[in-house]
Structure 1
Amino acid sequence: MRVRNVMVGALVLAAGAVASIGLGAGQAAAGAPFVQLDQGRVGMQLSHDETASLADGPVPAVVSMFVPLSRMGAGLQPDTTIYRDDSGGVHASLRQVMAEAADHPDGTVTIYVNLPGTKGGRVLDIYQRWNR
Protein backbone atom coordinates (compact mmCIF):
# COMPACT_ATOMS: atom_id res chain seq x y z
CA MET A 1 0.00 0.00 0.00
CA ARG A 2 2.80 2.40 0.92
CA VAL A 3 4.64 1.71 -2.35
CA ARG A 4 1.44 2.37 -4.32
CA ASN A 5 0.92 5.71 -2.53
CA VAL A 6 4.51 6.71 -3.22
CA MET A 7 4.14 5.79 -6.91
CA VAL A 8 0.88 7.74 -7.27
CA GLY A 9 2.35 10.72 -5.42
CA ALA A 10 5.47 10.65 -7.55
CA LEU A 11 3.42 10.49 -10.75
CA VAL A 12 1.30 13.44 -9.65
CA LEU A 13 4.41 15.42 -8.72
CA ALA A 14 6.13 14.52 -11.98
CA ALA A 15 3.07 15.39 -14.06
CA GLY A 16 2.88 18.75 -12.28
CA ALA A 17 6.54 19.41 -12.99
CA VAL A 18 6.16 18.59 -16.68
CA ALA A 19 3.01 20.72 -16.89
CA SER A 20 4.80 23.67 -15.28
CA ILE A 21 7.63 23.30 -17.78
CA GLY A 22 5.07 23.43 -20.59
CA LEU A 23 3.36 26.47 -19.07
CA GLY A 24 6.73 28.18 -18.84
CA ALA A 25 7.03 27.82 -22.59
CA GLY A 26 4.18 30.25 -23.18
CA GLN A 27 0.42 30.48 -23.50
CA ALA A 28 0.26 28.64 -26.82
CA ALA A 29 2.17 25.62 -25.60
CA ALA A 30 1.45 22.75 -27.96
CA GLY A 31 3.41 20.17 -25.99
CA ALA A 32 1.16 17.66 -24.29
CA PRO A 33 2.42 15.63 -21.35
CA PHE A 34 2.61 11.87 -21.88
CA VAL A 35 3.15 9.02 -19.45
CA GLN A 36 5.48 6.06 -19.95
CA LEU A 37 4.55 3.83 -17.01
CA ASP A 38 6.73 0.99 -18.29
CA GLN A 39 9.74 3.30 -18.08
CA GLY A 40 8.65 5.05 -14.88
CA ARG A 41 8.48 8.57 -16.26
CA VAL A 42 6.32 11.32 -17.66
CA GLY A 43 7.47 13.57 -20.44
CA MET A 44 6.72 16.41 -22.78
CA GLN A 45 7.90 17.00 -26.35
CA LEU A 46 8.35 20.72 -26.96
CA SER A 47 8.16 22.44 -30.34
CA HIS A 48 11.02 24.61 -31.58
CA ASP A 49 9.32 27.81 -30.42
CA GLU A 50 8.59 26.30 -27.00
CA THR A 51 12.18 25.10 -26.70
CA ALA A 52 13.53 28.56 -27.54
CA SER A 53 11.09 30.30 -25.21
CA LEU A 54 11.87 27.96 -22.34
CA ALA A 55 15.64 28.29 -22.87
CA ASP A 56 15.33 32.10 -22.71
CA GLY A 57 13.14 32.16 -19.58
CA PRO A 58 13.63 31.53 -15.87
CA VAL A 59 12.43 27.90 -15.79
CA PRO A 60 15.84 26.21 -16.33
CA ALA A 61 17.34 28.18 -13.43
CA VAL A 62 14.38 27.47 -11.15
CA VAL A 63 14.45 23.75 -11.97
CA SER A 64 18.21 23.69 -11.30
CA MET A 65 17.57 25.18 -7.85
CA PHE A 66 15.59 22.06 -6.92
CA VAL A 67 17.21 19.36 -9.07
CA PRO A 68 21.02 19.27 -8.93
CA LEU A 69 22.91 18.68 -12.19
CA SER A 70 24.08 15.34 -10.80
CA ARG A 71 20.43 14.18 -10.92
CA MET A 72 19.85 15.28 -14.53
CA GLY A 73 20.64 13.33 -17.66
CA ALA A 74 21.04 14.60 -21.20
CA GLY A 75 20.68 12.85 -24.53
CA LEU A 76 22.76 14.95 -26.89
CA GLN A 77 22.78 15.02 -30.67
CA PRO A 78 25.91 13.55 -32.30
CA ASP A 79 26.98 16.98 -33.61
CA THR A 80 26.60 18.74 -30.25
CA THR A 81 29.21 21.23 -29.11
CA ILE A 82 28.54 20.46 -25.44
CA TYR A 83 31.45 18.82 -23.66
CA ARG A 84 31.19 15.14 -22.67
CA ASP A 85 33.92 13.52 -20.62
CA ASP A 86 35.46 10.11 -21.35
CA SER A 87 32.77 8.30 -19.34
CA GLY A 88 29.93 10.10 -21.15
CA GLY A 89 29.23 12.67 -18.42
CA VAL A 90 27.64 15.85 -19.78
CA HIS A 91 29.12 19.10 -18.48
CA ALA A 92 26.40 21.65 -19.22
CA SER A 93 23.47 23.32 -17.53
CA LEU A 94 19.86 22.60 -18.37
CA ARG A 95 19.71 26.00 -20.09
CA GLN A 96 22.75 25.19 -22.26
CA VAL A 97 21.24 21.91 -23.46
CA MET A 98 17.96 23.67 -24.34
CA ALA A 99 19.64 26.69 -25.91
CA GLU A 100 21.81 24.54 -28.18
CA ALA A 101 18.69 22.82 -29.53
CA ALA A 102 16.93 26.18 -29.89
CA ASP A 103 19.87 27.50 -31.94
CA HIS A 104 18.99 25.05 -34.72
CA PRO A 105 16.07 25.97 -37.02
CA ASP A 106 14.26 22.71 -36.26
CA GLY A 107 15.74 22.03 -32.83
CA THR A 108 13.49 20.68 -30.10
CA VAL A 109 13.79 18.99 -26.73
CA THR A 110 11.89 16.25 -24.97
CA ILE A 111 11.86 16.52 -21.18
CA TYR A 112 11.21 13.57 -18.87
CA VAL A 113 10.60 13.55 -15.12
CA ASN A 114 11.54 10.14 -13.71
CA LEU A 115 9.90 8.32 -10.81
CA PRO A 116 12.06 7.92 -7.71
CA GLY A 117 14.25 4.82 -7.86
CA THR A 118 14.29 4.63 -11.66
CA LYS A 119 16.87 5.72 -14.22
CA GLY A 120 19.84 5.38 -11.88
CA GLY A 121 18.62 8.10 -9.52
CA ARG A 122 18.14 10.73 -12.22
CA VAL A 123 15.14 12.96 -11.60
CA LEU A 124 15.11 14.75 -14.95
CA ASP A 125 16.23 13.72 -18.44
CA ILE A 126 16.34 15.99 -21.48
CA TYR A 127 16.91 14.89 -25.06
CA GLN A 128 17.89 17.18 -27.92
CA ARG A 129 16.67 16.67 -31.47
CA TRP A 130 17.38 18.44 -34.75
CA ASN A 131 18.00 17.55 -38.40
CA ARG A 132 19.82 20.60 -39.74
Structure 2
Amino acid sequence: MRVRTFAATVATFAGLGLAGLAVAGNASAATPFVIPQIGAAGVELSHQETQSLASGPLPGLVDHFAPTGAVTVALQPDSALPQDEDYIYADMPSIVGEAASRPDGSVDLVVAPEGLAVVQVW
Protein backbone atom coordinates (compact mmCIF):
# COMPACT_ATOMS: atom_id res chain seq x y z
CA MET A 1 0.00 0.00 0.00
CA ARG A 2 2.85 2.37 0.83
CA VAL A 3 4.34 1.86 -2.65
CA ARG A 4 1.03 2.77 -4.31
CA THR A 5 0.69 5.84 -2.10
CA PHE A 6 4.26 6.87 -2.94
CA ALA A 7 3.66 6.36 -6.66
CA ALA A 8 0.56 8.54 -6.48
CA THR A 9 2.44 11.22 -4.52
CA VAL A 10 5.36 11.22 -6.98
CA ALA A 11 2.99 11.37 -9.94
CA THR A 12 1.16 14.29 -8.35
CA PHE A 13 4.39 16.09 -7.46
CA ALA A 14 5.96 15.67 -10.90
CA GLY A 15 2.69 16.32 -12.68
CA LEU A 16 2.28 19.70 -11.00
CA GLY A 17 4.29 21.49 -13.65
CA LEU A 18 2.73 19.53 -16.48
CA ALA A 19 -0.74 20.36 -15.20
CA GLY A 20 0.30 23.98 -15.02
CA LEU A 21 1.24 23.83 -18.68
CA ALA A 22 -2.21 22.55 -19.61
CA VAL A 23 -3.97 25.26 -17.60
CA ALA A 24 -1.72 28.21 -18.37
CA GLY A 25 -0.96 27.46 -22.01
CA ASN A 26 1.77 29.65 -23.48
CA ALA A 27 1.98 31.83 -20.37
CA SER A 28 3.58 29.05 -18.33
CA ALA A 29 7.34 28.85 -17.92
CA ALA A 30 7.43 25.18 -16.82
CA THR A 31 9.46 23.06 -19.19
CA PRO A 32 8.86 19.31 -19.35
CA PHE A 33 11.77 17.10 -20.37
CA VAL A 34 12.56 13.43 -20.95
CA ILE A 35 15.85 11.59 -20.45
CA PRO A 36 15.21 8.39 -22.45
CA GLN A 37 18.66 6.90 -21.73
CA ILE A 38 17.70 6.39 -18.08
CA GLY A 39 13.93 6.23 -18.45
CA ALA A 40 13.34 9.50 -16.61
CA ALA A 41 10.98 12.40 -17.15
CA GLY A 42 10.60 15.65 -15.33
CA VAL A 43 9.74 19.28 -15.30
CA GLU A 44 11.74 22.47 -14.77
CA LEU A 45 9.64 24.82 -12.67
CA SER A 46 9.89 28.60 -12.96
CA HIS A 47 10.56 30.75 -9.92
CA GLN A 48 6.85 31.54 -9.55
CA GLU A 49 5.88 27.87 -9.86
CA THR A 50 8.51 26.96 -7.26
CA GLN A 51 7.03 29.55 -4.90
CA SER A 52 3.57 28.04 -5.44
CA LEU A 53 4.93 24.55 -4.82
CA ALA A 54 6.67 25.71 -1.63
CA SER A 55 3.48 27.24 -0.25
CA GLY A 56 1.40 24.13 -0.92
CA PRO A 57 1.11 20.72 0.74
CA LEU A 58 3.01 18.59 -1.82
CA PRO A 59 6.54 18.87 -0.34
CA GLY A 60 5.19 17.72 3.02
CA LEU A 61 3.34 14.82 1.38
CA VAL A 62 6.58 13.63 -0.21
CA ASP A 63 8.26 13.67 3.21
CA HIS A 64 5.37 11.77 4.74
CA PHE A 65 4.75 9.09 2.10
CA ALA A 66 8.04 8.54 0.25
CA PRO A 67 9.91 5.39 1.31
CA THR A 68 13.41 5.91 2.68
CA GLY A 69 15.88 6.23 -0.16
CA ALA A 70 13.28 6.90 -2.86
CA VAL A 71 13.95 10.65 -2.99
CA THR A 72 17.28 12.12 -4.07
CA VAL A 73 18.06 15.80 -3.52
CA ALA A 74 20.72 17.95 -5.16
CA LEU A 75 21.41 21.18 -3.30
CA GLN A 76 23.25 24.17 -4.71
CA PRO A 77 26.81 24.55 -3.33
CA ASP A 78 25.88 27.74 -1.48
CA SER A 79 22.75 26.26 0.12
CA ALA A 80 22.32 27.24 3.77
CA LEU A 81 20.66 23.92 4.63
CA PRO A 82 22.70 21.69 6.96
CA GLN A 83 24.36 18.74 5.26
CA ASP A 84 27.38 16.50 5.35
CA GLU A 85 28.91 14.25 2.69
CA ASP A 86 26.11 11.68 2.87
CA TYR A 87 22.99 13.33 4.23
CA ILE A 88 20.90 16.50 4.03
CA TYR A 89 19.40 17.47 7.38
CA ALA A 90 16.33 19.22 6.02
CA ASP A 91 12.80 18.29 5.09
CA MET A 92 11.32 18.71 1.62
CA PRO A 93 9.38 21.90 2.50
CA SER A 94 12.70 23.49 3.58
CA ILE A 95 14.50 22.35 0.43
CA VAL A 96 11.83 23.70 -1.92
CA GLY A 97 11.32 26.77 0.28
CA GLU A 98 15.00 27.70 0.14
CA ALA A 99 14.92 27.65 -3.67
CA ALA A 100 11.68 29.66 -3.68
CA SER A 101 13.23 32.29 -1.39
CA ARG A 102 16.12 33.01 -3.79
CA PRO A 103 15.56 35.79 -6.36
CA ASP A 104 15.83 33.42 -9.33
CA GLY A 105 15.58 30.14 -7.43
CA SER A 106 13.62 27.18 -8.71
CA VAL A 107 13.51 23.41 -8.55
CA ASP A 108 13.58 20.71 -11.18
CA LEU A 109 11.60 17.53 -10.48
CA VAL A 110 12.68 14.27 -12.09
CA VAL A 111 10.89 10.94 -11.86
CA ALA A 112 13.16 7.98 -12.68
CA PRO A 113 12.92 4.23 -12.04
CA GLU A 114 14.83 4.76 -8.78
CA GLY A 115 12.38 7.37 -7.49
CA LEU A 116 12.08 11.14 -7.37
CA ALA A 117 14.95 13.61 -7.71
CA VAL A 118 14.58 17.23 -6.59
CA VAL A 119 17.26 19.61 -7.86
CA GLN A 120 17.70 23.17 -6.61
CA VAL A 121 18.56 25.71 -9.31
CA TRP A 122 19.74 29.31 -8.96
Same-fold status (TM-score > 0.5) = yes
Pairs aligned (count): 109
- After TM superposition, give the deviation of residue 45 of structure 1 in Å: 0.2
- What runs of 5+ residues in structure 1 fail to find an aligned partner? 1-12
- After TM superposition, give the deviation of residue 124 of structure 1 in Å: 1.0
Asked if 2 retains the 8 angstrom alpha-carbon contact of 1:83 and 1:91, the reply is yes
Per the alignment, residue 64 of structure 1 pairs with 63
- After TM superposition, give the deviation of residue 97 of structure 1 in Å: 0.9
Per the alignment, residue 127 of structure 1 pairs with 119
RMSD: 2.6
Q: Which runs of structure 2 are paired with 1:80-91 in the superposition (5 Å)?
A: 80-85=79-84, 87-91=85-89
Q: Which amino acid letter does the alignment assign opposite residue 54 of structure 1?
A: L
Identity %: 37
- After TM superposition, give the deviation of residue 24 of structure 1 in Å: 7.4
Asked if 2 retains the 8 angstrom alpha-carbon contact of 1:24 and 1:54, the reply is no
Asked if 2 retains the 8 angstrom alpha-carbon contact of 1:15 and 1:42, the reply is no
Distance 1:53 1:24 in 2: 11
- After TM superposition, give the deviation of residue 66 of structure 1 in Å: 2.5
Per the alignment, residue 114 of structure 1 pairs with 112
Per the alignment, residue 32 of structure 2 pairs with 33
TM-score, normalised to structure 1, is 0.70
Largest Rg, 1 or 2: 1
Distance 2:68 2:103 in 1: 27
- Secondary structure of 2:110 counterpart: strand
- After TM superposition, give the deviation of residue 61 of structure 1 in Å: 1.7
Distance 1:128 1:15 in 2: 17
- What runs of 5+ residues in structure 2 fail to find an aligned partner? 1-7
TM-score, normalised to structure 2, is 0.75
Per the alignment, residue 101 of structure 2 pairs with 103
